[in-house]
Amino acid sequence: MARRRGPQPKTAERSADRARHRSRIARRMRVLAAKGVDGIVQAGTDLAMADLAGEAERWLGIPVIAINVATYWSALRANGIHDRMRGFGALLYEH
SS3 content of the chain, % helix, strand, coil (to 5): 55, 5, 40
pTM assigned to the model: 0.75
The answer to whether residue 59 sits within a structural domain is yes
The per-residue pLDDT for 4 is 62
Rounded to whole angstroms, how far apart are CA atoms 51 and 63? 13
Domain limits at 24? 11-94
The DSSP bridge partners found for residue 41 are 65
The answer to whether residue 31 sits within a structural domain is yes
The answer to whether residue 26 sits within a structural domain is yes
Distance of alpha carbon 61 from its chain centroid, rounded? 15
The answer to whether residue 1 sits within a structural domain is no
Rounded to whole angstroms, how far apart are CA atoms 10 and 74? 36
Rounded to whole angstroms, how far apart are CA atoms 55 and 38? 17
Residue predicted with more confidence, 12 or 86: 86
- Split into its structural domains, the chain has a count of 1
Report phi then psi at 83, rounded to 5. -60, 150
The answer to whether residue 6 sits within a structural domain is no
Rounded to whole angstroms, how far apart are CA atoms 77 and 70? 11
Does residue 14 have a pLDDT over 90? Answer: no
The per-residue pLDDT for 8 is 62
The answer to whether residue 78 sits within a structural domain is yes
- Cβ atoms 74, 95 nearer than 8 A: no
The answer to whether residue 3 sits within a structural domain is no
The answer to whether residue 61 sits within a structural domain is yes
